[in-house]
Structure 1
């Protein structure tokens, strides 16, 4: 053992590595297993049993890398692998059907799979299969001294989002992965399909997607703006369906849907998604888009609400996310407002018109 070998690790023969299911390793991991850089390169000679797939990353078999191996190779190149009890281990890959998977997960830091590869891992049917991707996008801190190479495309960020762990792979959340994917796409149809699936498939709400696209400065691209307009319309339609479901499933009295309110012979008071005239209770979906001036738009909401409540009308604002995540709770809020109507002074008379 020389001074470069960790004291807690004894060198092990190469056959030990070849027999394991741990098929992707970095040079540092090989060194921790007693394999020198020269020995690793010798194994990667023409016709040899190993191959170097990325700088400092080795595949311990001669055949093509699987999609899982490519992902772990990218993370070994771009990220850092935390030490576990003083010993660096190899990267586990998916076992064959019926085989036990005993290798521990590798705790990567400072790297997340993003873009189309991340969307494929999130289960997007509109994302290409992993093996068909020429590049795997990886988020890394802006300060990392690395370069894109081979099938690794680095995307630098000031701060990394909290990763989603999918099969031992740290993956960017859907909104961030979408923004990174859209940044690389010029096909308007592909952008529209990805954004639509994000909302229709329940992966996230439109507001979170638009926020990421805004931060990435992608809303200057006409094909992205068109896709976002469709996304927001899709998101509102889904939220409206959930609102209908809330009323039916939780036994609320039927409101009048999608109406405008006016004072008799007076000004327009605003549109509402649902209104119970007998109780003077209104529901409005809060579908503000982050690309708009949120402060100004919220001021408009607040002015409208204040005006209606001065007239004795209770306004309940519900976000699409709350309808998705806590339908029963939102139904209880509306039911409470309806039940409290008898304790309030009668509301002013207003004209209800279809919107």
Structure 2
């Protein structure tokens, strides 16, 4: 009799080995589990469940959205990027709830059969990935366009407007072959990048968390000019002013302010920031 490693595996603790408790059938078979055991544990009332073909959730609880996203990325294969509403939520743009199929972007040469829980877009021009909460996503502009293609007009406008307010340059939004999206974009107010250009300032870093050297959190800058120590908040809710107390010049504006007015405020804030040493703060 040849012993196997099956008797050494604590099946109830197996989920801890896999991110979000999501594993492929192949991975489990390589651990020594049998196909019959996997089928038994995923049967009705069993402790595990099928999320997508060949992708299991090692839990009997209803899957979370993060687990559905993890399953979609594992199913679609290497070099897959998350796009659409789920990617927008990870970028902090949550105007529309992330429901329905998980939307992924894959290289054009790959063929993936999409079950109802998954939406697959193939492209010859894969964008550079952006890591958000340990998920590889497309940049916000691509995520917004992919999401908007599958939304009703009011939700389209809301998603695109919030993406621009969050710091995406409107010129990055290129709705190829979609007259409806072109019309929606033409009706939107300008974003923060227009005010920055009018103020003559360089491109900032977006959505930066700031801390003291001893790792005490100070707050978030929607736009941050590191050499100046200048923070602009145009969407972050007002909070206790730890940023200013740390010596950071903080400009707060409302989202619907005219770009010319905002640009003038940015110029004044930048000029003020040059009159004192950069504060001792760190990013992250």
Aligned counterparts of 1:176 and 1:117: Cα–Cα separation in 2: 12
Please tell me whether Structure 1 or Structure 2 has the larger radius of gyration of its CA atoms: 1
Structure 1: tracts of 5 or more residues without a match: 80-108, 253-326, 329-355
**What is residue 89 of structure 2 aligned with on the other side?**
120
Aligned counterparts of 1:78 and 1:184: Cα–Cα separation in 2: 20
Structure 2: tracts of 5 or more residues without a match: 197-259, 275-284
**What is residue 27 of structure 2 aligned with on the other side?**
29
**What is residue 39 of structure 1 aligned with on the other side?**
37
Q: Does 1:146 align with 2:143?
A: no
Q: Does 1:226 align with 2:183?
A: yes
Match of 1:70 among 46, 68, 74: 68
Give the total of aligned pairs. 207
Contact 1:206 1:235 in 2 (8 A): no
Alpha-carbon RMSD across the aligned residues, in angstroms, is 2.8
1:253-268 pair list within 5 angstroms: none
Contact 2:169 2:191 in 1 (8 A): no
Match of 1:48 among 34, 46, 49: 46
Match of 2:264 among 244, 250, 254: 244
1:152-171 pair list within 5 angstroms: 152-171=118-137
Aligned counterparts of 1:72 and 1:15: Cα–Cα separation in 2: 20
Q: State the TM-score, normalizing by the size of structure 2.
A: 0.65
Match of 1:136 among 98, 102, 112: 102
Structure 2 counterpart SS, 1:45 = coil
**What is residue 13 of structure 1 aligned with on the other side?**
9
**What is residue 80 of structure 2 aligned with on the other side?**
111
**CA separation of 1:241/1:29 partners in 2, compared to 1, >3 Å: closer, same or farther?**
farther
Q: State the TM-score, normalizing by the size of structure 1.
A: 0.53
Contact 1:114 1:180 in 2 (8 A): yes
Structure 1 counterpart SS, 2:187 = helix
Query: Structure 1, residues 4-23: CA drift from partner, whole Å, max 9, x if none?
Result: x9xxxx65525264463731
Contact 1:200 1:238 in 2 (8 A): no
**CA separation of 1:38/1:160 partners in 2, compared to 1, >3 Å: closer, same or farther?**
farther
